[in-house]
Amino acid sequence: MFVRTKRNGERVYLQIVENQRLDGKVRQRVLTTLGRLGVLQKTGRLDALMVSMQRFSEKLGVIGAHSRNDISTTASRKIGPALIVERLWRELGIDRVLNALAGTRKFEFPLERAVFITVLHRLFAPGSNRQAERWKDDYRIEGNDAVELHQFYRAMNWLGEPLPDDEQDDATPFAPRCTKDLIEERLFARRRHLFTGLDLVFFDTTSIYFEGGGGEEIGRHGKSKDHRPDLKQMVVGVVVDSEGNPVCSEMWPGNTTDVTTLIPIVERLRTRFGIRNICIVADRGMISENTMEQVDALKWKHILGVRLRSVKEVRDDVLARGGRYHEVTPTGKNAKAPAPLKVKEVLVGDRRYIVCLNEDQAGKDRHDREAIVAALREAMKRGDKSLVGNKGYRRFLKNPKEHFAIDEDKIEQEARYDGKWVLTTNANLTAEETALKYKQLWMVESIFRSMKSLLQTRPIYHKCDDPIRGHVWCSFLALILRKELQDRLEQKRTDADEPPLEWADVVRDLDNLAETEIDVNGKKYLVRTETKPAAAKVFKACGVALPPVLRQC
């Protein structure tokens, strides 16, 4: 049914007609003639008719009320973030795991909602729990009004709370088993099918410093990767599977050294996650002679980075061996191409080493060293005082009895390391596969950058160890959700040449999706804002239906 005009000579009439199918053909049947168009417009009868009909159309009624300034806005809340993250949260089973663990405790507030809001806040506007408590009022989140500030603190305390003494078996030497450990293990059990055969896990650590006191035991002075040795810190370790999914995390006092952390992680994966056949990939900072002996005794497969300059066998034997390199990745023609890579295998007794070479990096190392040495030669002309305090000069100097001198032997030795890195492994992989698997360890470093910058784990204002652990672990949980969303977006990306969505675009477009509550003639309606491109792709990838543009409350 629709409206049309009918011309009769110089006169134009307005008619209401409908389409009918007769004998397989569409025919138009005139229901009524409203009158001459010019007269209807001139007398205002057409406008009156349209206004009268608006009573039976919600959308047109709202539009008409808007044109008459007869609308009052009562509230406006953002809906995009909660709709998407809530779907991922439930499909990953996080809500069920939290409720099952909290079920034995008589919390007088929805604890699962407090954790959900904290994680949602960490993804879209990272900050403290106090900021989250204010931030949530601008969003439409299920259970939003049931959580107050002190309950956020209680939820963080519960996540980092040590388990009873009879559940402390297999705890690491540095920290007790906590509630968050049980959550990690149960979430992993839900997707257990991903680990089949010989799989890889990647492990690395970082440090997070405290502006304040840093807790009771967890805040300690140690080697700071943030270059803030003046502040107390904690050590955070993360295990990631071969697909980039965060598996588990550990939080230790800030004076815990990297070389002591690998074995406890291996033991936890073996005993608490039930992983028997796995290959662990870790950086050279995790390696010591004692660590290697324990890993070998456990008969775990491993791919481990080796310190070139400090391990005598590598420095004096492995790098001195001849042999041809095999090309894995050629030199790219543009900046987006993978880094060039060549490898060769070296056997020393029953130990297997893989020497890796990046010729582009070798050229850069050589250029940097030559620049330092040239500057050093100029500085030496101005006397020994000009050399004091320059770390770049220090490794190329020797100090005889009277004056500093350039150590030419040291310069020649350093050239042997240009563009090279060495791995040791007992995995049944080719040299090429071993090098490529180790390069995947960089995705763990990317996770740490996300935790410390994008998710802004700092600053941490809690004063006790339990809420500190809970606060940091919510960033880990946020990373699980972010990785799940990115995987779904990648699965829906049909054009291989189309660049993946930037996370900043996802956050911005979802955050801009809002519903405004309006009052029209005593009735309340919700009006949704325009859906931006990135948000539309996210809703499609997650299988979430967009709310109608207009709906009655």
pLDDT in tens, 26-72: 888 888 898 898 888 888 888 788 767 766 666 656 655 555 565 66
Q: Evaluate whether residue 183 is within a structural domain.
A: no
Residue 23 lies in a domain: yes
Q: Tell me if 14 sits within 8 A of 35, measured CB to CB.
A: yes
How many CA atoms lie within 13 Å of 385's alpha carbon, on the beta-carbon side? 1
Chain mean pLDDT for the chain: 84
Residue 37 in domain: yes
**Nearest-CA neighbor of 462 among 154, 174, 225?**
154
Q: Is residue 453 part of a domain?
A: no
**pLDDT(144) > 70:** yes
Q: What is the Cα gyration radius of the chain?
A: 33
pLDDT category, 408, cuts 50, 70, 90? confident
Q: Could you tell me which residues come within 8 angstroms of residue 103 by beta carbon, excluding any fewer than 6 positions away?
A: none
Please report whether residue 34 resides in a domain. yes
pLDDT tens readout for residues 428-454: 889 999 998 888 887 777 777 776 665
What is the spatial distance between Cα 197 and Cα 14, in angstroms, rounded to a whole number?
75
pLDDT given at position 198: 44
Given a cut of 90, whether residue 79 has pLDDT beyond it is: yes
Tokens representing residue 94 in the block: 């996080």
What is the pLDDT, as a whole number, of residue 311?
A: 81
Report the domain count for the chain: 2
Q: How confident is the model at residue 270 (pLDDT cuts 50, 70, 90)?
A: confident
Identify the H or E element spanning 6.
Answer: strand 2-8
Cα angle 330, 334, 338; round to 5:
45
Fill in the DSSP letter of residue 220. Answer: B
**Which pLDDT does position 153 carry in this prediction?**
92
- Nearest CA among 248, 236, 295 for reference residue 274: 248
Residue with tokens 């307005």: 14
Full-model pTM? 0.78
Domain end point (choices 10, 29, 56): 56
Q: How many other C-beta atoms are found inside a 10 Å radius of the C-beta of residue 209? A: 23
Of 191, 214, 78, residue with least CA distance to 512: 78
Q: Which two tokens stand for residue 522?
A: 């005593």
Q: What type of residue sits at position 221?
A: H
Q: Taking 90 as the threshold, does the pLDDT of residue 98 lie above it?
A: yes
The answer to the question of residue 297 being in a domain is: no
For 51, the domain range is 2-56
**Phi and psi of 155, rounded to 5°?**
-65, -40
Whether the per-residue pLDDT at 319 is higher than 50: the answer is: yes
pLDDT for the residue 336 = 66
Is residue 132 classed as helix, strand or coil in its secondary structure? Answer: helix
Query: Looking at residue 249, what is its pLDDT?
Result: 92
Instruction: Report the alpha-carbon distance of residue 15 to residue 2 in Å, rounded.
Output: 9
Query: What confidence tier does 115 reach under pLDDT thresholds 50, 70, 90?
Result: very high
Could you please report the per-residue DSSP string of 477-533?
HHHHHHHHHHHHHHHH---TTSPPPPHHHHHHHHHT-EEEEEEETTEEEEEEPPPPH
Strand residue runs (E) in 112-269? 199-209, 233-241, 246-253
More confidently predicted of 161 and 52: 161
Closest CA to 55 of 523, 515, 518, 516: 523
If pLDDT is split at 50, 70 and 90, which confidence band does 225 have?
confident
Domain assignment present for residue 116? The answer is no
Which pLDDT belongs to residue 141? 93
**Which of 73-82, 359-368, 401-410, 464-473 is predicted with the least confidence, judged by mean pLDDT?**
401-410
Whole-number pLDDT of residue 60: 58
Please confirm whether the linkage preceding 340 is cis (ω < 30° from 0).
Answer: no
Q: Find where tokens 């993360």 sit.
A: 238
pLDDT at 197: 45
Residue 392 forms part of a structural domain: yes
State the pLDDT at residue 454. Answer: 53
Per the document, the length of the chain is 553
At residue 524 the predicted structure's pLDDT band, cuts being 50, 70 and 90, is confident
Given pLDDT bands bounded at 50, 70 and 90, which one contains residue 96? Answer: very high
For residues 337 and 166, the model is more confident at 166
The last residue of one of the domains, among 23, 38, 56, is: 56
Q: What is the pLDDT of residue 196?
A: 45
